Amino acid sequence: ESRYSPASVEAKWQQTWAESGLDRTPQKGDRPKFYALSMFPYPSGNLHMGHVRNYTITDAIARLKRMQGYRVLHPMGWDAFGLPAENAAIARGIHPAKWTYQNIAQMREQLQKLGFAIDWDREVTTCSPDYYKWTQWIFLQFFQAGLAYQKESAVNWDPIDQTVLANEQVDNEGRSWRSGAKVERKLLEQWFLKITDYAEALLDDLNKLSGWPDRVKLMQSNWIGKSVGAYLEFPIVGNDVGSDEKIGVFTTRPDTVCGVTYVVLAPEHPLTFRVTTAERKDEVEAFVKEVGDQSELDRTAEDKPKRGIPTGGMAINPFTGDEIPIWIADYVLYEYGTGAVMGVPAHDTRDFRFARDNDLPIKVVIAPEGKDGSQPLEEAYTEPGIMVNSGQFDGKTSTEGKQAVINYATAEGMGKGRVQYRLRDWLISRQRYWGAPIPVIHCPDCGAVPVPDADLPVELPEDVEFTGKGSPLAGLENWVNVPCPSCGTPAKRETDTMDTFIDSSWYFLRYTDANNDRRVFEVAKANDWMSVDQYVGGIEHAILHLLYSRFFTKVLRDRGLLNYDEPFARLLTQGMVQATTYKNVTTGQYFAPSDIDPEDPTDPETGEPLSVFFEKMSKSKYNGVDPLPVLEKYGADTARMFILFKAPPEKDLEWDDADVEGQFRFLNRVWRLVADFANADASPANADKLTKDEKDLRRAIHTAIREVSEDLQGDYQFNTAISELMKLSNALNDAKCKASGVYAEGVETLIKLLAPFAPHIAEELWHGIGETESIHLQTWPPVDEKALVVDEITLVIQVMGKTRGTIQVPASADKTALEEYARESEGAQKYIAGKEIKKAIVVPNKLVNFVVV
Ligand code: ANZ
Ligand code: ZN
């Protein structure tokens, strides 16, 4: 074969590898393990460039580690439950299972074309009963541990279709995607997982994750949102409320308590109507209803005015004895803290604005060092300072004061120190079909009874109508009505299915023992492979997926199923794949590149100039590049090389056809180089006595090994590694010792170093030079330090700035010695004969220049 033809090379090796089981995960043995994992895809039907990048990165790592002597687990699967399948069912009458499995088949084929070293024997599909059986089993583990419970909670309710909507199905105006009805909030009994029990551990253990990007750890820590402060109680005055009734608040600033001039309840707070006076009742009712229709985002948005009204009720500030009004306001969230806050306008920006808008008193109780707090405030003073106007606490710093107020409140029984997390329990109920049914039966006598293990999985009934109205499962009388597993009384199945984030919170554990039909996984196998040594995926999963997976891992550890409490030792969040977009910035409209002259981009309708950007590939911006045509034109190896070469993995990558072409040309050069070598016959080099050319080439070879190995150590700088390969290929091209054994060593090394990136061509070339075992089973070449040593250098001889020859000198020669060597050289002698040397300019390692008269 003389020409590089990726199509035939790739198809051939993909088939050979599959037949020989090359990528099957090795059994436990003495080699160290390496678990390389990509975030598994949702089977939408087509691979996009983001997938290709993600899996190429993981694959290069997996292949490298295999050559470096690890036994590697590199699996793949499908995050296959979820709304799109159900929408397809509603829109096109195709069953979600059928739609999903078709998509999986298509995408698996596409993945196989990319030549990933995936162990397909361990493929998992979350919508398959042999997977969700164990999802249900794990749910019951949570249930038994008291970590799954039911609570009434608000859902998006479509009053026309009589169905619950996911947030994605509600548009910006709060209308149903399907019926267009104004979505209401409705209270339903729903299942929650008690992730808040693990808030502290999830936060603390971020410290263990030294292999994670700081940015992701910060996002997780903000999401968990730990606040240290106090719980304080404000007694309510009179009304029809019992005299011992109090409003509890959470505050991070107990040192400001003497500056509390009002308290505010969330409108939904159970005390709202009990503190409201008769005169205020109508207005309060109207306000509560209005706020109920707003989203949380609207309620807390920084730029929105905070709206509130007085209830007419009064409370007492127990630290000052003052009577203060009780208000309700939209910015107080019922779900956070106690759902009530103490208003300190002098020291909180939001309270300051609220007090000014509503004529509430502002009382300064914290003064900057050296001030007494008597100056009127232009804005809230939010820094720490010295307590003033605070009775017995006057003179204390904020830090001391916080503790003193907590101590006092504790002693007087009106509060205590408290740590508050923003993290809330995880609402997992979905009133949908295409998810794992929650394995619970509701019995009128026994309550919520777990489905016995022997009856798992609770399978999804297949014969279901998808109308988009009502929950498909709830309407199935035959399926819903069952005897109670505990007492036999007629009972009803839970009809909610689980949030699909549950499926993906443990799939990495299933891969360690994917075909086990007796257990969720064998503990020993999970312990052998966990934790994941390198996880690769998108930043969009920086919070929920990773947090939930960490939570599941910790719970399973506590249930004795694992020795590990963190699932992912190292995390790489790959950057986006971007491409050129053409946008009219005045109208906001995007145009397809095919309609635009890149030399002179103008709006075809208005003639206005268009702006050119690089943006994430998307259909709506007409800048998507479909991977398949690229594979067809250039082959998987070129696509992989381009992706790895174009940008470091964590940075955004700009698609560029010319650079794709460039990688194709590089592979062609390597192809020819090896072909020429295979046709020539090399004589073995004399290892003891290498020529200068041979020494130089060996240095280039081992420099490449060292550089590539270092670039791939930990940070995976594939781009610079590939540059080193190009240098090596150039050095081989230019080598003058092509008949030498050193050249053979160079060719072999180049193929080995190329193998993780461009696995097919590497395999073909490897066999082309007469090898019979797979390149991917070869050992990563070690660096020969001796080869790196430079023992001679080439010294340039100049006379009056003109080069008169070169000589080889020992690399260790100092300046005086260099001058000496130079003077005696043939080239110099010829031109300085009979002249006087005025000066010798010595540039170490490079040249000597003689100035003569
Ligand atoms: C009085 C105070 C004075 C506050 C002051 C702050 C500064 P983080 O850090 O987010 O935990 N707060 C408490 N519960 C709330 C709720 N349900 N809805 C809205 N706001 C709430 O914030 C804690 C602070 O947020 C608490 O401390 C409380 O205001 C407010 F100079 O109490 B602070
Ligand atoms: Zn029962």
CA distance 559 to 405: 40
Average pLDDT of 793-800? 93
State the residue for tokens 């010294």. Answer: 795
Task: State which of 788, 819, 838 marks the end of a domain.
Answer: 788
Average pLDDT of 424-439? 94
Task: Tell how far the Cα of 472 is from the centroid of ligand 2, in angstroms.
Answer: 25
Tell me 112's DSSP state: H
Buried-exposed string 58-86: b where 16+ CB fall within 10 A, e elsewhere = bbbbbbbbbbbebbbbbbbbbbbbbbbbb
Q: What percent of the chain has pLDDT over 90?
A: 79
Pick from 203, 336, 366, 420 the residue to mutate for probing ligand 1's pocket: most ligand atoms within 8 Å of its CB.
Answer: 336
CATH of the domain at 401: 3.90.740.10
Residue 581 within a domain: no
Contacts of 730 (CB under 8 A, 6+ apart): none
Nearest CA to ligand 1 atom 33: 251
Output phi, psi for 262, to 5 deg: -165, 165
CATH of the domain at 697: 1.10.730.10
pLDDT at 736 over 80: yes
* pLDDT at res. 184: 87
Q: What is the pLDDT of residues 309-329, one digit of tens each?
A: 999 999 999 999 999 999 999
Average pLDDT of 650-664? 95
Residue 666 within a domain: no
Q: Is 133 annotated as a binding residue?
A: no
CA distance 166 to 186: 13
Residues 772, 808, single domain; the answer is no
* pLDDT at res. 714: 77
* pLDDT at res. 643: 97
Ligand 1 lining (C-beta closer than 6 Å) = 227, 250-253, 256, 331-333, 336-337, 339, 341-342, 344, 347-348, 420
Average pLDDT of 417-430? 94
Residue 332 within a domain: yes
Interior angle at CA 656, CA 654 and CA 658, nearest 5 = 155
* pLDDT at res. 174: 83
Average pLDDT of 792-815? 91
pLDDT at 592 over 80: yes
* pLDDT at res. 371: 83
CATH of the domain at 848: 3.10.20.590
Residues 772, 804, single domain; the answer is no
pLDDT at 683 over 70: no
pLDDT at 596 over 60: yes
Nearest CA to ligand 1 atom 7: 348
Q: Tell me the whole-structure pTM to 2 decimals.
A: 0.88
* pLDDT at res. 1: 52
pLDDT at 395 over 80: yes
Average pLDDT of 158-164? 83
Residue 215 within a domain: no
Residues 288, 322, single domain; the answer is yes
Q: What is the pLDDT of residues 492-514, one digit of tens each?
A: 999 999 999 999 999 999 999 99
* pLDDT at res. 458: 98
pLDDT at 684 over 70: no
Q: Judge whether 532 and 35 are in contact, CB under 8 Å.
A: yes
Residues 709, 826, single domain; the answer is no
Confidence of residue 124 (pLDDT cuts 50, 70, 90): very high
Residues 288, 363, single domain; the answer is yes
Residue 259 within a domain: yes
CA distance 191 to 153: 9
Average pLDDT of 203-223? 97
pLDDT at 111 over 80: yes
pLDDT at 335 over 90: no
Kindly list the protein residues that place their beta carbon closer than 5 angstroms to ligand 2, a single-atom ion. 443, 445-446, 484, 486-487, 489
Q: What single string gives the DSSP state of each residue in 256-301?
A: GGGG--EEEE-TT-TTHHHH--GGGHHHHHHHHHHHHTS-HHHHH-
Residues 726, 815, single domain; the answer is no
Residues 412, 443, single domain; the answer is no
Task: State which of 772, 788, 804 marks the end of a domain.
Answer: 788
Residues 316, 377, single domain; the answer is yes
Residues 233, 331, single domain; the answer is yes
Residues 726, 779, single domain; the answer is yes
Q: Which ligand sits closest to the CA of 328?
A: 1
Task: State which of 391, 421, 451 marks the end of a domain.
Answer: 421
Task: Tell how far the Cα of 441 is from the centroid of ligand 2, in angstroms.
Answer: 9
pLDDT at 90 over 50: yes
Residues 385, 273, single domain; the answer is yes
Angle, helices 657-679/718-734, rounded to nearest 10 degrees:
40
* pLDDT at res. 363: 96
pLDDT at 303 over 70: yes
Q: Going by DSSP bridges, is the β-strand pair 386-387/323-329 parallel, antiparallel, or unpaired?
A: unpaired
Confidence of residue 638 (pLDDT cuts 50, 70, 90): very high
531: preceding bond cis by omega (within 30 degrees): yes
Asked which of 367-376, 430-439, 562-571, 632-641 is least confident by mean pLDDT, the reply is 367-376
Average pLDDT of 188-200? 96
Range of the domain at 230: 226-421
Residues 737, 777, single domain; the answer is yes
Asked which of 185-194, 211-220, 435-444 is least confident by mean pLDDT, the reply is 185-194
Residue 136 within a domain: no
CA distances from 68 to 27, 699, 756 (A): 17, 22, 11
Question: From start to end of 352-408, where are the E strands?
Answer: 366-367, 386-387
- Chain mean pLDDT for the chain: 93
Domains identified in the chain, total number: 4
Q: Which ligand sits closest to the CA of 487?
A: 2
* pLDDT at res. 243: 59
Average pLDDT of 242-269? 93
The tokens for 274 are 């009990």
* pLDDT at res. 685: 63
Task: Tell how far the Cα of 713 is from the centroid of ligand 2, in angstroms.
Answer: 59
Q: Going by DSSP bridges, is the β-strand pair 447-450/440-443 parallel, antiparallel, or unpaired?
A: antiparallel
Residue 815 within a domain: yes
The tokens for 418 are 């408290």
State the residue for tokens 């080099």. Answer: 685
Residue 838 within a domain: yes
Q: Judge whether 716 and 570 are in contact, CB under 8 Å.
A: no
Output phi, psi for 714, to 5 deg: 80, -60
Nearest CA to ligand 1 atom 2: 253
